[in-house]
Structure 1
Amino acid sequence: MLNPQWLRTFAALAERGSFTRAAEHLDLTQAAVSQHVQRLEERLGPLLIRRPRQLELTPAGRALLDYCAEVGAADQRLQQRLSEADAEQGEIGLISPGSIGLALYPHLLEVQQAHPGLRIRHRFAPDHEVLEAVLDNRFELGLVTLRPDEPRLRVSRFAEEPLELLVPAGARVSGWADLERLGFIDHPDGLAMAGRLLSRRFPGNPGVRGLPCHGFTNQIGLILEPVARGLGFTVLPRYARLAFPRQDAIQVIEGTPAVVDTLWLLHRAEWPLSARAEMILRRIGPHFSSETGRPRG
């Protein structure tokens, strides 16, 4: 590997065109500048043609000057990534389940609009993929619904999100027979979520699997569309419901007891968060409440 000081000397010499001016710029002696160039030429061959009033770069010298520029740019990128000044530029990755992701994404876009130098990369994924992605350093931040027991991760509460029983607007639900009449709109987590909520709301019921299924979709943003069209009911986390644009076409059937999930924020424990991640969390954190599961503001 070439000595970085030799490279800086050669770049200054090529820019200023003389050993004297390069030495003054670098606060070195002319002998030191000559020695650095000599060391480079021992490794790479002739780099300069020395003329009385100018220096001319050989093809090897021009190639080395391009290399000096690449090294300088790489060094600058490294310093930016490690610097607090990098909080408003560069890439930040966040991976989350679909429901909280629907609520988060508009706020992430607002941050990016305020700081155009940022590149925000967000992905929807189930808990196990979120864990793998954060542990593999493919995403700096992750959110999960089940708290992991993993020493390589720092885990903290982010928000709380209740499960909701959602039916078409105007539908009346006073008992299990009403759910049978409406029919179930399923989704990848539908049976598990409905089982958890309905077993508490309607104790002694025959079970979610016994309900007629009137549809299925794996696109979280579309699950409430058949409900809004009167085709059935479903159970979803609150943030997924709040993201649905046609709120007047659906309704929440309130009841007790509540089933509330905690959303956990994950990142690697062995090193501090980047300045970008810290800034993102400061900006989006106030929009969420760990007590009610409702976005603020």
Structure 2
Amino acid sequence: MPLPMNPAWLHTFKTLVDIGHFTKTAEALYMTQPGVSQHVKKLEQACGYDLLKRSNKQFHLTEQGQQVYQYAVKVASDQKQLIESLGFDDAYAGLCSLACSGSLAMSAYPKLIELQQQHPAMSFHIEVAPNERILSDVQQGRIDFGVVTHLPNSHLYRSQVIGEEPLCLVLPASYQQQTINADTLMELGMVKHPDAEHYLSLYLAQCNEPGWDQIPINQIPAASYINQLSQILLPIAHGIGFTVLPYSAVAYFPQNDKLHVHNTAQAVTEPLYLISQRYRQLPKRYNTIQTLILEKLCQPQR
């Protein structure tokens, strides 16, 4: 006889599919890995079908698993909408979900925590993600507000320019008095990260330094690579390589006295757009968040 379908099992299964890894799912849900496996097993027993096909440390959804996942997504969305409707008109209560870049999260999250201290009925879900995922998550209702760096489709999103994020060319502090040119960058090599080539190409194209827009990015040697934002500047602080990052990532780096931010002929910035679904009316608490972002989170100039 099939077991009743426990909502906790559905939540664990949805989280596992979203994250794609048993151990990381266990960490996210504050569970043990065997506990995650047990929830999935019980959900399979309740459904009467295998939901996953496992291969070593990886897994793939079966056809039935895909259907159950879509159902779990709907359950989560319905629950979220219900919670929103209960406190829809309270400007200082309820869950607020926001997605942005890692550098912006470093400046945004402390401000949101301060707001939550003032209004304990508020809570925040912050996702660090690239532009494409933020746009997708907002459009599909997984996230309510997003901050992106290029103007989205006006037919799908409501958007507002909230400021500009300066981009910084960052070198070791020992280069502060030196002439920086294309040869310097080639000799140093680049500390690479997931957005490194995007930021560098934008920087070289807009900085107005003679000949910099002709530097072959794909020929710059890699001094290092890391995908953890808080660690990208660490090798540079130790005299290794250069990189390009948003100002906020540099400002919040604890050893920024060991860095040199090079000033070029033309400052390079990326516009910041606050986005939401075009035809969705958000709870009043999002007006509070929007005011905070406009007043507090626009980045200072270098």
TM-score computed with the length of structure 1 as normaliser = 0.67
Aligned pair count reads 215
Unaligned runs of 5+ residues in structure 1 are 1-75
Are 2:84 and 2:94, in contact at CA under 8 Å, matched by a contact in 1?
no
Q: State the shift of 1:222 in Å.
A: 1.3
**Mapped pair 1:283 → 2:287:** no
In structure 1, the residue matched to 2:229 is 220
Pair 1:233–1:106, CA change in 2 (3 A): same
**SS in structure 1 opposite 2:204?**
helix
1:201 aligns with 2:209: yes
SS state of the match for residue 215, structure 1? strand
Mapped partners of 2:229, 2:84: distance in 1: 38
State the SS of the aligned residue for 2:99.
strand
Native 8 Å contact 1:127 1:144 kept in 2? yes
Alignment of 1:91-240 (within 5 A): 91-171=95-175, 172-199=178-205, 200-203=208-211, 205-240=214-249
Tell me the alpha carbon deviations over residues 74-98 of structure 1, each in whole angstroms, 9 at most, x when there is no partner. Answer: xx9676322x2x2222211001122
User: For each residue in 1:177-229, what CA deviation from the matched residue of structure 2 results, as whole angstroms up to 9, or x when unmatched?
Assistant: 22222221011111121122134435154412222211011111211111111
Closer/same/farther in 2, CA of residues 279 and 187 from structure 1, 3 Å limit: same
- Conservation of the 8 A alpha-carbon contact between 1:195 and 1:207: no
Q: Say if 1:277 and 1:217 are closer, same or farther in 2 by CA, change over 3 A.
A: same
Q: Which amino acid aligns with 1:178?
A: T
Match of 1:257 among 260, 266, 282: 266
What is the RMSD computed on CA atoms of the aligned residues? Answer: 2.0
Q: Secondary structure at the match of 2:120?
A: coil
- What residue identity is the alignment partner of 1:143? V
- Output one character per residue of 1:29-69: Cα deviation in whole Å (capped at 9) or x when no partner: xxxxxxxxxxxxxxxxxxxxxxxxxxxxxxxxxxxxxxxxx
Distance change in 2, residues 1:192/1:215 (3 Å): same
Which residue does 1:266 correspond to in 2? 275
Report the 3-state secondary structure (helix = DSSP H, G, I; strand = E; otherwise coil) of the residue aligned with 1:138: coil
Change (3 A) 1:79 1:129: closer
Report the counterpart of residue 72 of structure 1 in structure 2: none
8 Å Cα contact 1:108-1:284 kept in structure 2: no
1:89 aligned partner: 93
- Mapped to 1, the partners of 2:211 and 2:282 lie a distance apart of 45
Deviation of residue 288 (structure 1)? 3.3
Aligned to 1:57: none
- List alignment gaps of at least 5 residues for structure 2: 1-81
Distance 1:163 1:202, change over 3 A: farther
Any conservation in 1 of the 2:87–2:93 contact (CA below 8 Å)? no
In percent, how many aligned pairs have the same letter? Answer: 30
Q: Is the 8 A contact 2:108 2:297 kept in 1?
A: no
Counterpart Cα distance in 2 of 1:237 and 1:141: 20
Any idea what the Cα deviations from partners look like across 1:3-36, whole Å, max 9, x if unmatched?
xxxxxxxxxxxxxxxxxxxxxxxxxxxxxxxxxx
Highest Rg: 1 or 2? 1
